[in-house]
Amino acid sequence: MLSREQLRAVRKIQIRTSHLVSDLFAGQYQSVFKGRGMEFAEVRLYQPGDDVRTIDWNVTARTGTPHVKRFAEERELTVMLVVDASASTVFGSRRQTKQALAAELGALLAFSAITNNDKVGLVMFSDRIELALPPRKGNRHVLRVIREILSLRPTGRGTDVPAALEHLGRVTKRRCVLFLVSDFLTPGWKQALRLASRRHDVIAVVLEDPRESELPSVGLVELEEAETGERYVVDTRDWRVRDAFARQAALARAQRDRDLRAADVDAIVVGTDRPYIEAIMRFFRMRERRA
């Protein structure tokens, strides 16, 4: 059961994101994703003017007559939200937690999808699969997606992106649009992401919080690593400590971005301290230019 506060949060997200979809994102979503998928329809005899790249050489060799493959546009897409539910996503030092930000982004993407008559599914993971909802249509299903992201109490604390993508590969037979929502703080996902991007249209939604890249000068503080429980006492008055922390965080972000590019995956970087609208609009504009 959701608490009264959680129900209010779900309602608030529903109102905000449904307005954004109707005002901004539904048309952008359609121009970027609809019509991009093609599925095999039939093989027919080659006709003058056909693109030679569509020749089916196996059928041509078997029959002795040139045949071409014909493809039809996929009218219905499947959108999968693969959402990190590890302990690090409960953190947030500014407007909201990364978990709440993930719920709002998931709602925005899900409402955009169902407005265009697409299905939406959800996989939530930590160091194990925590929840899997099969793709469906409809507002009630989207509201359940929001509720699950906001209210799930995971049994695991760590992060295993490869296991989540392996699970998705087993249960999803058709090509889908895959939004992987995570803070990507745990390494070791590049190869799994590269393999997933060969089969699906993968977009990484990167959750950030400013306290993960810089420390304030507030004296002695005890820090806890969310996923391992390890604790450290740090003197934040020492500029060398703050500088080393910032440099290490910058190196980690740069490595993350290199790994995403190497995996051939587009990224939308959003933060708990800033509006996400412009980041998503930049992504849509970039996709439109590329198309």
9: exposed, middle or buried (Cβ count in 10 Å: 0-12, 13-18, 19+): buried
- Strand ranges (DSSP E) for 77-219? 78-84, 119-125, 129-136, 177-182, 201-208
Q: What is the pLDDT, as a whole number, of residue 268?
A: 97
Q: What is the pLDDT of residues 277-288, one digit of tens each?
A: 999 999 998 988
Q: For 209, phi and psi rounded to 5 degrees?
A: -135, 140
CA–CA distances in Å: residue 5 to residues 2, 8, 131, 148, 176? 8, 5, 22, 14, 34
> Which of 195, 185, 206 has its CA nearest to residue 262?
195
- Which pTM does this prediction carry? 0.84
Q: What is the pLDDT of residues 72-90, one digit of tens each?
A: 555 678 999 999 999 999 9
Q: Which two tokens stand for residue 204?
A: 């990484």
Q: What is the pLDDT of residues 192-245, one digit of tens each?
A: 999 999 999 999 999 999 999 999 999 999 988 889 889 989 999 999 999 999
> Which of 82, 102, 133, 35 has its CA nearest to residue 265?
82
Give the residue carrying structure tokens 């509720």. Answer: 147
- Strand ranges (DSSP E) for 195-241? 201-208, 220-224, 231-235
Q: Which residues of the chain have pLDDT under 70?
A: 1-2, 34-41, 71-75, 291
For the chain, the domains span: 4-34+75-290, 38-73
4-34+75-290 folds as Rossmann fold (3.40.50)
